[in-house]
Amino acid sequence: MHRRKFLAATAFSALATSAMADDDKKSSSRSGSTSTTTAVVPASTTVKARVIVIGGGMAGTTVAKYLRLWGDGIEVTLVERMPTYTSNIMSSLVLTGQRTMASLTYKYDTLRSKYGVTTVFGEVVAVDPVNATVTLADKTVLKADRIVMAPGITFDTVPGLGTSDKMPHAWTAGPQTTLLASQLNTMRPGGVAVLTIPKTPYRCPPGPYERACLVADWLRVKKPGSKLIVLDANSDIVTEKDNFTNAFLGIHGNVIEYHNNAEVLSVDASTMTLYTNGGGTFKGDVVNMIPRQRAGGLIAATGLNNATEGRFAGVNVLSYASTTPGASKVHIIGDSSATTQPKAGHVANQEAKVCADALTRILAGGSPDSAPVTNSACFSTITTTQASWLHAMYQYDPVSGTMVAVPAATGASVGWNTESFKDMGKWFGALMADTFA
């Protein structure tokens, strides 16, 4: 209801005309931009191909931008539910009051004005992977030569939690982030907070650990005597083990109580109790319940969830085309795809560029680059003023058909410092500019 209102009537009718007129590619002209930003990519007078991008997060926004920047006459329509994007990256800093939600909000204006992307704010209800059509909630059908899906993640239902907001995940930045921040703020000193880490693969591998460190540091100062119980469903810290182990046992040793192999099986929201697989029962004044994850609902609805026990979408990492038979016109990038790369915004941006490059070649009758390279680089908050960094580089391996991490280029900083915390701000600004500006 709320979302539908954002379907701007003018943009939408223009799109419905151009995107649906599949047999009229040569003469179709793009609607003009209303923004004052200088267009980097002039509006094409000749549309040679059409691509629909579903999802305006880090992956979807980047692929839309780069298809316009690198493509020759590729008309790009980005379909997204919300008129603005809220960054998940850096959103744990909202919990400690170091960032505002507004500072994490991004618009699609530049995508339209500078790159000539058409945006449609609406809900996709169906994707036909064979005919490359997308059906919106109002029954409008959009048609393209290729579809790029970047619907991100969705969460498993937690038994006992239902739709209660008493145990927010705050793992998709938005109202849940604000809610968790408020719950932490009103927690009594000497209270107990619980943070749960789901089984891999989940969005942002170091994310829950860095959040635990950050919140522990904040609790130590703001809520003296409080404890943070970390319930990790995995057998061990899944990434950056040295730094997080040292931080958990060292500077946060008086606050953090870490349990491995502690998968939450069910909860009782009324008593704020969590029941784990080992028979352990934990109670918290505040519970940050991060459930297990799967690809955004459209992936399974389209039948593309053929990897990771049906949770994510298998892709050919040369082009990110679906590996589901008959769905080769659909490409899946970012967190909803199953690759050897982490599910994270920084590498999603690079996956998007590989996909955009491949599509420009494919749509012009060529083949994708046979040796793509991607990198994942990020910073983790270890305290409210210090950070560590984590890096990995991936080279395509033709034998396995996967992106393989280069050992020498994969690893973390030895320790953490204030310089890296400052670099983190710069890194974030640059990444968001490469994606949204």
Partner 1 sequence: MSNLSRRRLHALAATAFLVCASVGAQAQTTPAGRLLASNCFQCHGTNGKGPGFDTLAGKSANELYKEMVEFRSGKEGKGIMAKHSMGYTDAQLRQLAQWLSTQR
Strands 313-316 and 321-322: antiparallel
Min CB(239)–partner 1 separation in Å? 14
Min CB(83)–partner 1 separation in Å? 23
Q: From the list 190, 225, 278, 366, which residue makes contact with partner 1 (rule: CB under 8 A)?
A: 366
Applying CB under 8 A, what is the total number of residues that bind partner 1? Answer: 43
Q: Per CB under 8 A, which region of 172-180, 205-213, 327-335, 347-355 contacts partner 1?
A: 347-355
Q: Give the amino acid at 91.
A: S
- Quick one: 339 or 374, whose CB is closer to partner 1? 374
Pattern 371-410, partner 1, x by CB under 8 A = -xxxx-x-----------x-x-xxx----------x-xxx
Q: From the list 349, 380, 381, 383, which residue makes contact with partner 1 (rule: CB under 8 A)?
A: 349
The whole-angstrom separation of Cα 256 and Cα 412 is 22
Q: Per CB under 8 A, which region of 133-141, 156-164, 251-259, 348-356 contacts partner 1?
A: 348-356
Using CB under 8 A as the binding rule, whether residue 319 contacts partner 1 is answered as: no
- Quick one: 146 or 252, whose CB is closer to partner 1? 146
Using CB under 8 A as the binding rule, whether residue 431 contacts partner 1 is answered as: yes
Provide, for the chain, the percentages of residues in helix, strand and coil under a 3-state DSSP scheme, each rounded to the nearest 5: 30, 25, 45
Q: How many CB atoms lie within 10 A of CB 139?
A: 8
Radius of gyration of the chain from its Cα atoms, rounded to whole angstroms:
22
Q: From the list 72, 138, 156, 397, which residue makes contact with partner 1 (rule: CB under 8 A)?
A: 72
The encoded tokens of residue 185 equal: 């703020």
- Quick one: 60 or 122, whose CB is closer to partner 1? 60
Using CB under 8 A as the binding rule, whether residue 414 contacts partner 1 is answered as: yes
DSSP string, 21-84: -TT-TTT--PPPP-S-SPPSSPPPSS--EEEEEE--SHHHHHHHHHHHHH-SSEEEEEEESSSE
Q: Per CB under 8 A, which region of 138-146, 206-214, 333-341, 426-434 contacts partner 1?
A: 426-434
Q: Please report, for residues 90, 177, 242, 243, 287, the alpha-carbon distance to residue 170 in angstroms, rounded to integers and kept in the order given.
A: 12, 5, 26, 23, 11
The encoded tokens of residue 290 equal: 């991060």
Min CB(407)–partner 1 separation in Å? 9
Q: From the list 346, 383, 384, 416, which residue makes contact with partner 1 (rule: CB under 8 A)?
A: 346
Min CB(89)–partner 1 separation in Å? 12
Q: State the helix-helix crossing angle for 241-249 and 207-222, rounded to 10 degrees.
A: 20
Q: Please report, for residues 154, 228, 335, 371, the alpha-carbon distance to residue 293 in angstroms, rounded to integers and kept in the order given.
A: 6, 23, 10, 30
The whole-angstrom separation of Cα 142 and Cα 351 is 24
The whole-angstrom separation of Cα 253 and Cα 237 is 16
Min CB(210)–partner 1 separation in Å? 16
Q: Per CB under 8 A, which region of 11-19, 201-209, 228-236, 419-427 contacts partner 1?
A: 419-427
- Residues facing residue 397 across a β-bridge: 402
Q: How many CB atoms lie within 10 A of CB 370?
A: 8
Using CB under 8 A as the binding rule, whether residue 433 contacts partner 1 is answered as: yes
- Residues facing residue 390 across a β-bridge: 378, 412
Min CB(423)–partner 1 separation in Å? 8
Pattern 3-42, partner 1, x by CB under 8 A = ----------------------------------------
Strands 264-268 and 273-276: antiparallel
- Residues facing residue 400 across a β-bridge: none
Q: Per CB under 8 A, which region of 68-76, 89-97, 118-126, 290-298 contacts partner 1?
A: 68-76
Q: From the list 357, 386, 387, 416, which residue makes contact with partner 1 (rule: CB under 8 A)?
A: 357
Using CB under 8 A as the binding rule, whether residue 425 contacts partner 1 is answered as: no
Min CB(145)–partner 1 separation in Å? 14
DSSP state, residue 235: S
The encoded tokens of residue 253 equal: 């040793």
List residues binding partner 1 (CB under 8 A): 66, 69-72, 346, 349-350, 353-354, 357, 360-361, 364-366, 369, 372-375, 377, 389, 391, 393-395, 406, 408-411, 413-414, 423, 426-427, 429-431, 433-434, 437
